[in-house]
Every structure is written in structure tokens, then in C-alpha cells.
Chains A and B, each alone.
Chain A
Amino acid sequence: MLKAEQVSKSFGDTAVLRDLTIEIPDKTIFGLVGINGAGKSTFLRLAAGVYQPDQGRITLNGQDTLKEDAVRKDISFVADEAYYPLGATLGSVASLYESMYDFDNALFETYCGMFELNRKTPMANYSKGMRRRASIILALCTHPKLLLLDEAYDGLEPLARLQFKRILAQRLEEEEITVVISSHNLRELEDICDSFGILENGTIQRHGDLLESKGAINKYQMAFEQELTKEDFKGLDILRFEKEGRVIQMVVRGEERAVMQVLQEHQPLFTDVLPVTFEEMFLYELEQRGDRS
């Protein structure tokens, strides 16, 4: 389990993370989302031991990821920008991983074949997407217990994303692995993640199972005989309310049956219930917090 306990981190006078606390269980693919500058990359780097927290600590299975070097053997961090020394080939970059981790060479060869990467080609000759693939492959071949992907998924073409998704799914079945992915592309994350956390104002504002959370929010489109306002639906947790004449579209958090019961009281002429996407859920959460503040 990855656990962050009251983690705070500032850069100069700017507080990025404030008393952040979260537990991410094993065998989960956790999507970490937030606006630009929310602190996603900072959190991942803290978890990887690259940054030192100002306060608090992050542990993996009870071991501090910063202070205990051995635990970092079980952590692989893939940054948004791939690193390679001047003139390096994929093979020479792999030598660092071979030296420092329990690197699976056979698996590495398999993945190179799968993703059509030649280990003798200079990394400078790879496209951005190929370098991304190379970084993820190198991380996977260390058989990490915690895989941290900082927007590493972005920029992969659909086939590569599909292949990685299959690999991750297979790993989740076979090994004790936790994956934390940060991304702006929530549609991609929706395909792969089973849990999520929304990072805002330096803390995790909402987190949990993705399906459950999405299931708890629905979009309702209705038409009524008379014009109604938001005030008429006071008992509901409305995340968004749009009205055009007698047609109302609203996003409501709550169990569908309970919500429908309340809606039926106003005798709608028709009602459509639509699920929300992860992206929509994220946007509605942000809007709601914006309204409250």
C-alpha cells in the first residue's frame, strides 16, 4: 500500500502540497488528476524519493520511500520527459537499470520486439512517442511494486496504449503492483484506471473507486409542463444545472433511484438518464468547488 501522511511541499513561497493524506491500496491503477500546477508531478516525485517533503512522509508497505533506499528498488518512476545521456542507445540506458534494479533482460527483449524498439539505436533518433515507450518498458522490466507514470501515457498512439493496458492488466493479475498515473487526458485514464484522486489546493479533494464514483453521478435530461428552477429541486446534490425554457439538464450526485423519486414529484414529461464520463465528473467537481468558493 502506498500511503501519504500529511505531506507538505513548497517551492519557495508557493505551497504546492498541504497536509496531503491518502492511501492507495495494492493491485490498483490509480489515476491522479488535477489542473495544471495542482501538484501531481510533485506528489509522484515525492513518492519516488526524488523530492524531499517539507513535512510528512510517504511509505510503501510501511517503508519510507525517501529514507529507506532498499524500498526504491520496488519503485519505478517514469517522468514526463525521458532522460538519456548524450549518444546513449536504449541498451546503454538499460545498463543503468540492469546495474541498480532486478532487471528482467528477457522481458526487456520481448517488449523491445513488441514495441518495435531497437536497443542499438541512439535514443536521439527516436521520436517522442518511441522514447515514451522506451521509458515505460524500462520501468516495467524492473518488476516494480509501485509504478509511477507522470503523464507518461500522454503522447502514445492508440495501439501502444492498448498494448500497455494489456500489459498492466496482466501484471495486476500476476504481481503485487500498484500503478499511479497522472494525466490530463481523462478519457485515456478512464479506460485504464480503477480508482482515482482529484488533487486540488494541495490536497486530495475526492478519491475512490472510479466506477462507483461515476455511478454516483448521473446526467438527467427532462422536460416539464411548467418552467422550473434549481430551487425546485432543493433536496438534490446538483453539480450542474442548465435550463432552456421547460427543458432542464442537470448533473446530480446520488443514487439514481432516489434521485428519480425526487424528480418524479415534479411529473416530468420525459426523463433521460445518462452516465457521466470521468472527464465530466472531474469538471463538475471543479465547478462545484468554484461555486462554493
Chain B
Amino acid sequence: MNKNYFKYLVRNRKLLIGFFFVLYLVISLFLFRIDRSREIFCSIVMTAVILSLGMAFVLPVLLFSFAMRRNSADVYFALPVSRKEMRLTSLLFAFALCYGYFLITVLIAWLLCGIGTVRLLHLAVILVFFAFVCAAMLVINSFLYLIGNNIPDGIIILAAYTMFPLFAVLAEDLIVSNLIAGNMILVNPAKAWILSPISVLVTNCIAVIDFRLADFNIPYFAAGVLYAFIGWFGLKKEFDERKSERAEHISDHPLAYKTIINCYAALFSLLFASSLVHYPEAEYVVAFVMLLGCYIIATFLYQRKLKLEWKSLALFGAEVIISLAIMVVGWNTRGFGLADQIPLSQGDTLTYEYYLMADQDDLGRGKDMSMNEVHEAYVGFTLAVKTDRIEEHQEVIDLMESYRKKAIDNYYARKEQEYSGYLRTMNSRNGNSILEYTYPTFAPISEEDLRIINRYAEVTVNCYEYYEKWDEEPEKLLEDYLDWRAHQS
């Protein structure tokens, strides 16, 4: 650390420091109420976290922009300070602001509304953990910013890398939805969130603030540490060994536009390919053409010239072909085998849910969604089986599995949803749902099979018409309904 440089940073930004401090306190403590409450304290802390993380994006831009302009690079790199000292001093200054404001705000919040409701240990854990989060985000963002050679590129590159995991998560959800029958929902967070440093750090931050240490995600923590290391060593390389003549040039770093454009192109190729294999329609081919257009425009914009290299086009072509190949294989292997999987562990509960808008006279005949008839009966059930009781329920499980497999077959045969209702399977553990499949392309369960299911779970039939006509209760159990229907006819 260089004391003189630190003093200069403080002296030169006095107004900014003061202004942000006041703004920080006002926004964070806006939620303050007179009554001492843990919830209020946690809300204030979360607000402070958000503000500090926002500063962790802004401060690297403010402190390292001098390296991106030729005339300021001439002045700063000629100073009697080593690059290492300059880097460390800038980071320390940024940390002092980011974390310092947070620390003051949280301590004030604790004194005003946390004493008695928030233990000292809890407070200490929050302060220590957020110090790590703050430091990690500062080094990561500084590294990403310095990949650029000029200020606009640096900001775009930082934004692109920050946003990429969000797009990856959305793409993951859509690809899974397209490729795996049952629109599989992972109740746990999408895997792609682990690509986001801010997500992995903030997720655990929230668990720490709420003191839900059981929810502290170890893989996320490990990922956060890894990102911090990458940020630290990347920043060291990008700043200490930076060629100052790069300032104001086109950003030609290997991790700059070429990587970003191709990563986004590959992601969207996978997404469009999954949609194309699911719905082989012309509009998805058009989507690829539009993606190519965006790819070409992005390449022109970053190169600042109208020159298209065949290598770039070949790379794009390869991304599209590989994406299509992956998705075709995925479709033909029924979602890489994931569509047929219901992995169960000891202690899990397997649940089947069924609901159908059926014909009153035949509960195994579903109502066409386009028809508007009144003789409707709504049949449904929930069958939950713990793993230790599977043997006893083998008959009904085999029955349900046959309907589930039929629904999966319909999906991969690209059949449309015909009936109003759904078939759903769920895995849950300790009362929490961990895996869910919902099959819109299901086939209605016959009355005979409903009778078998009725031996293991309560099958109910709702028939509002009978309720309105004969003042009967609208919901009946299956056997009661069938007897009653027999009497009516």
C-alpha cells in the first residue's frame, strides 16, 4: 500500500465520499422503525448489502479508468509508485468505501433496532462474511473491467460477464423445459447460477443475514472463493503487467469481445436448437438467421470496421451445428435419459397428482379443450408413497408409471396437449419438493384404473352440475360418485 497515493485518492474524492456516505445512510436507514425488531435490522442490512454491491461495480470503473485513457495513463504510470502498490492502494480505498459504509450502517442499525433481538455472534458473522463478499466482488469486477482497453469497452465487458449467468439460467430453464418431457422443474436453483459470482456470494450472504446457517451453500461458497482467486490473479496480471499503450485501442484481449460474442452465440444457439427439435417450425430457423445477424453486427461494432473474417463465420457455424447435434441427441435419448428418471433416496416421498376435466358418463374420457360442453366432471387424486412403503404400493406405482411413460411417449412423438388437466410426479424430501415433472400430454386414466388407484388414495370427483340440479354436494368420492351416477341413469 502506498500512503501518499491513498491520501491523494481520499483528498481528490472528498466530495464524492461525503455524498455517497449520506446517500447510503439515508437509503439504508429509510426502513428504520422505532420498535426493535430483527426483521427491520435484517432489512436494513440487506439494503446496505445491495448498495455496497452496487458500489463494487462503480468503484473499479472510477479508480481504474485512468489506465484506459492515454493522457491519464501517461501521468499515473509515470508516478513514483509501483503498479502493485497502485493496485493494492486502489483496492484498499474501494474496500474502505464499500465495506466502511456497510459497517457503519449495520452498526447503527444494530444499536438502534438490533440490540436484544440480534445476537453479537450473529452480527459478527454478518460483518466478517460480508467483508469477504465485498473484497471478492471488488477484485472480480476490477479484473473484468480491465480486460477492456477503453472505458466504454470495459463497462460493456463487465456488464456482459455479469449478465451472462442470468441468460444462462433462463436458457437452462427453457432448454430443460423443451428437451425433457414433463417440463421438469428443479426446485433447487438452476445449476447455471453457479456461473455468477454475485449470485453465489449473495445467496450465502442472505443465509448469513437471516442466520439460516443450514441453508449456507458450501459449493456456492467454494465457487465464490474460486472466483475471488481468479479475480485476484487476473487483476494482478491485467494491471501490473498492463501495456499502457493499450489505452484507447480496440479491446483485443482474448477474454474480450471475441469470447463474449461467441459465448452468447453458443448459448442462444443451444436455446434455439432445443426449441427447434421440440417444435420443428420455420420460425426457429428464422431465429438462427437473426442470431447470425446479431453476431455479424456485434463483430462489426467491436472491430469498429466492416470486415468479416471467414474464421468468425466458421466458428458461428460450428456453434450452431454442435448445438443442433447436442439437442438432436438429447431429444432422441429422451432428454439424455433424464425424462425417465425419478431418482429416489431413502426417506424420499414419491407423489403422483392427477387432475382431469372428464365426461360425467365416462371418467376415463377427457374433455377436448376446444369443446364447450356442460357435462363435466373433475376427477383428481394425490397419491403419496414413501420409499419404505413402495413394495406395498407396487401395483399402483406400476400403473401410474405406465401412464407416465405413455405421457412421455406422447411428448417425444410431439403430440399436443389434448385434455384439460395434468399428470404430475414429484420427489420430496423432508417435506420439501426437490423434483417435479408435469405432463400436459398425458392420457386419461380409465375408470377401471381409477378404481385400482382408489384402493390406495382418495379419488374425488367434482360435478357442479349435479350440485346445482339436485342440491347435492359437488364433491364425491369415486365409488360414491359411480353409485350415484348409476342411480341417476
A270 at the interface (CB under 8 A from B): no
Chain B residue nearest to A52 in the complex (CB)? B243
Q: Can you give 20 A-B contacts (C-beta < 8 A)?
A: A48-B77, A48-B78, A49-B77, A50-B78, A50-B244, A51-B243, A69-B81, A69-B82, A72-B79, A73-B80, A77-B75, A81-B71, A83-B69, A83-B71, A83-B72, A85-B12, A85-B72, A92-B12, A95-B8, A95-B12
Of the listed stretches A96-104, A173-181, A194-202, A224-232, name the one at the interface; the rest are far from the partner chain.
Answer: A96-104
In the complex where A50-B244, A72-B80 touch, is A99 in contact with B85 (Cβ < 8 A)?
Answer: no
Q: Which residues of A contact B395 (CB under 8 A)?
A: none
Q: Which residues of B contact A100 (CB under 8 A)?
A: 4-5, 8, 79-81
A199 CB, min distance to chain B CBs, angstroms: 18
Chain B residue nearest to A83 in the complex (CB)? B71
A75 at the interface (CB under 8 A from B): yes
Q: Which residues of B contact A77 (CB under 8 A)?
A: 74-75, 78
Number of interface residues of A (CB under 8 A): 25
Chain A residue nearest to B69 in the complex (CB)? A83
Q: Is the CB of B80 within 8 A of A69?
A: yes
Q: Is the CB of B74 within 8 A of A101?
A: no
Max chain B C-beta neighbours (<10 A), residue from A51, A71, A81, A83: A83
A274 at the interface (CB under 8 A from B): no
Q: Is the CB of A69 within 8 A of B85?
A: yes
Mask, A50-85, CB within 8 Å of B = 1, is 111000000000000000011111010101011101
A110 CB, min distance to chain B CBs, angstroms: 23
Q: Which residues of B contact A207 (CB under 8 A)?
A: none
Q: Which residues of A contact B82 (CB under 8 A)?
A: 69
Number of interface residues of B (CB under 8 A): 23
Mask, B51-72, CB within 8 Å of A = 1, is 0000000000000000001111
A45 at the interface (CB under 8 A from B): yes
Q: Which residues of A contact B11 (CB under 8 A)?
A: 95, 99
B98 CB, min distance to chain A CBs, angstroms: 21
A101 CB, min distance to chain B CBs, angstroms: 7
Considering the chains assembled together, what is the distance between the CA atoms of A52 and B241 in angstroms? 9
How many A-B pairs with Cβ below 8 Å? Answer: 66
A215 CB, min distance to chain B CBs, angstroms: 36
In the complex where A95-B8, A96-B12, A99-B11 touch, is A45 in contact with B80 (Cβ < 8 A)?
Answer: no
Q: Hey, which bits of chain A sit against chain B, CB under 8 A?
A: 11, 45, 48-52, 69-73, 75, 77, 79, 81-83, 85, 92, 95-96, 99-101
Q: Is the CB of A99 within 8 A of B4?
A: yes
Which among A11, A75, A82 is the interface contact of B78 at CB below 8 angstroms?
A: A75
A148 CB, min distance to chain B CBs, angstroms: 9
Max chain B C-beta neighbours (<10 A), residue from A73, A82, A100: A100
Considering the chains assembled together, what is the distance between the CA atoms of A120 and B75 in angstroms? 21
B253 at the interface (CB under 8 A from A): no
Q: Is the CB of B8 within 8 A of A99?
A: yes
Mask, B315-345, CB within 8 Å of A = 1, is 0000000000000000000000000000000
8 A-B pairs closest in CB distance:
A99-B8, A72-B80, A83-B71, A73-B80, A79-B74, A48-B78, A50-B77, A81-B71
B170 CB, min distance to chain A CBs, angstroms: 38
Q: Which residues of A contact B72 (CB under 8 A)?
A: 83, 85
Considering the chains assembled together, what is the distance between the CA atoms of A99 and B72 in angstroms? 16
Q: Is the CB of B5 within 8 A of A50?
A: no
Q: Which residues of A contact B244 (CB under 8 A)?
A: 45, 50-52
Q: Which residues of A contact B69 (CB under 8 A)?
A: 83
Q: Which residues of B contact A81 (CB under 8 A)?
A: 70-71, 74
Q: Which residues of B contact A49 (CB under 8 A)?
A: 77-78
B39 at the interface (CB under 8 A from A): no
Q: Is the CB of B74 within 8 A of A45?
A: yes
Q: Is the CB of B80 within 8 A of A101?
A: yes
Considering the chains assembled together, what is the distance between the CA atoms of A102 and B320 in angstroms? 61
Q: Which residues of B contact A69 (CB under 8 A)?
A: 80-82, 85
Q: Which residues of B contact A85 (CB under 8 A)?
A: 12, 72
Considering the chains assembled together, what is the distance between the CA atoms of A197 and B11 in angstroms? 41
Q: Which residues of A contact B243 (CB under 8 A)?
A: 51-52
Q: Which residues of A contact B73 (CB under 8 A)?
A: 50
Considering the chains assembled together, what is the distance between the CA atoms of A89 and B85 in angstroms? 27
Chain B residue nearest to A76 in the complex (CB)? B78
Q: Is the CB of A11 within 8 A of B80?
A: no
B406 at the interface (CB under 8 A from A): no
Considering the chains assembled together, what is the distance between the CA atoms of A99 and B6 in angstroms? 9
